[in-house]
């Protein structure tokens, strides 16, 4: 899907508060910017065809072997690469979730079906035996829901015939336990997707990676184009893994603020808000359309939210926001209160 995502501020004039992507807007990127400035000579040479030096650093970061890591142009390339490598297979997607899983699979001739609930212990965790591939976003975009790690372990072990793709793009914005890259490697049928874009609040740079058993990555590699990650993105990765970024609040404080935003949104009386285990949340208008609220907030207040009506299973009353600074979150709540009076 080319259009219809969040962070579409290019469609509006003068957006000053951006709640529409799941990125914290106040990270301090000065160190990264200074580093890239000093590395501009990389413009003059081809990047590594497969960003192997960065893959090696990520492997070290995760305490796993380099042949268990593949760097991609954002998690998006990872999604399209997996869909291509498993083209034509029967794919299931746990919905509602990020549209790209289903879109990439359809584009690659997969039979795609939606499920809204995974099998329970009573069902012996057994997935429909026609399914080859199952996509799970954890924590899930747009709901903020997290599946228990122990449940996922049971699910994966009970279905060795299924290849699981678990997108952990938001893994750094949760308190609950998730698969570590090394834990996930014990499974022959699990690909974990990760996002440096999300971890380091740099969506402009496009940098993600996959961790998985080497035989799974070897299969993906036969479907990968060279040079998908440009030289500045590779350099950014080198810097970020060593130095990180500043300005992001401790995760417990940030999630507490997200809960405060959720409570405040509910208190407006305008919306129901789903429970979330991360920094973003899914809200459902009691009256009116999310697209109308989005346009009104953008035009009247320079506030951008994510119209979530194009997620599978959701309707035109849904929108998604990610918590920002407390004062900004208060602005959003105040603006929604004002909108109710219009």
Binding site for a second copy (CB under 8 A): 1-3, 5-7, 9-10, 18, 21, 23, 25, 27, 29, 32-33, 36-37, 40, 42-50, 53, 73-74, 76-77, 79-80, 84, 100, 104, 107, 201-206, 221-228, 230-233, 236
Q: Is 329:261 a contact under the CB 8 Å cutoff?
A: yes
Closest by alpha carbon to 281, among 304, 265, 299, 298? 265
Nearer to a second copy, 162 or 205 (CB): 205
Nearer to a second copy, 6 or 96 (CB): 6
Kindly write down the DSSP assignment for every residue of 71-114, as one continuous string: EESHHHHHHHHHHHHTTTSEEEEESS--THHHHHHHHTT-EEEE
Pairing of strands 306-307, 69-72: unpaired
> φ, ψ for residue 138 (rounded to 5)?
-145, 110
Nearer to a second copy, 200 or 339 (CB): 200
Min dist. Cβ of residue 64 to a second copy (A): 21
In this structure, the number of other CB atoms found within 10 A of the CB of residue 233 comes to 23
Nearer to a second copy, 45 or 150 (CB): 45
Q: Is 299:4 a contact under the CB 8 Å cutoff?
A: no
Min dist. Cβ of residue 260 to a second copy (A): 24
Min dist. Cβ of residue 8 to a second copy (A): 8
Nearer to a second copy, 84 or 262 (CB): 84
Q: Burial code of 164-179, b = ≥16 C-beta within 10 A, e = fewer?
A: bbbbbbbbbbbeeebb
Min dist. Cβ of residue 20 to a second copy (A): 9
Q: Is 86:109 a contact under the CB 8 Å cutoff?
A: no
Min dist. Cβ of residue 306 to a second copy (A): 11
**Tokens linked to 162:** 């299924």
Min dist. Cβ of residue 220 to a second copy (A): 11
Min dist. Cβ of residue 287 to a second copy (A): 30
**Tokens linked to 108:** 């690659």
Nearer to a second copy, 31 or 288 (CB): 31
Nearer to a second copy, 93 or 202 (CB): 202
């Amino acid at each position: 899907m080319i259009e219809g995502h969040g962070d579409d501020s290019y469609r509006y004039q003068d957006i000053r508060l951006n709640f529409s992507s799941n990125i914290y807007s106040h990270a301090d990127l000065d160190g990264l910017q200074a580093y890239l400035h000093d590395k501009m000579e990389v413009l003059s040479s081809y990047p590594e065809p497969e960003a192997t030096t960065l893959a090696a650093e990520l492997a070290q970061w995760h305490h796993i072997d380099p042949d268990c890591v593949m760097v991609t142009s954002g998690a998006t390339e990872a999604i399209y690469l997996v869909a291509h490598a498993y083209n034509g297979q029967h794919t299931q997607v746990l919905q509602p979730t990020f549209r790209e899983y289903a879109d990439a699979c359809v584009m690659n001739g997969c039979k795609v079906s939606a499920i809204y609930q995974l099998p329970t212990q009573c069902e012996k965790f057994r997935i429909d035996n026609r399914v080859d591939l199952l996509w799970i976003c954890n924590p899930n975009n747009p709901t903020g829901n997290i599946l228990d790690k122990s449940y996922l372990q049971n699910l994966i072990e009970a279905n060795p015939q299924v290849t699981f793709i678990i997108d952990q793009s938001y893994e750094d914005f949760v308190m609950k336990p998730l698969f570590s890259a090394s834990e996930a490697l014990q499974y022959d049928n699990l690909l974990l997707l990760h996002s440096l874009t999300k971890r380091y609040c740099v969506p402009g740079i496009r940098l993600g990676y996959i961790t998985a058993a080497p035989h799974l990555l070897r299969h993906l590699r036969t479907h990968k184009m060279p040079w998908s990650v440009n030289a500045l993105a590779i350099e950014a990765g080198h810097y970020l893994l060593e130095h990180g970024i500043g300005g992001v609040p401790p995760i417990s404080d940030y999630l507490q603020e997200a809960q405060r935003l959720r409570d405040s949104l509910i208190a407006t009386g305008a919306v129901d808000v789903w429970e979330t285990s991360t920094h973003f949340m899914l809200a459902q208008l009691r009256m009116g359309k999310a697209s109308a609220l989005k346009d009104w907030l953008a035009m009247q207040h320079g506030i951008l939210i994510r119209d979530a009506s194009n997620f599978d299973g959701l309707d035109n009353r849904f929108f998604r926001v990610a918590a920002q600074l407390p004062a900004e979150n208060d602005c959003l709540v105040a603006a929604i209160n004002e909108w109710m009076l219009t």
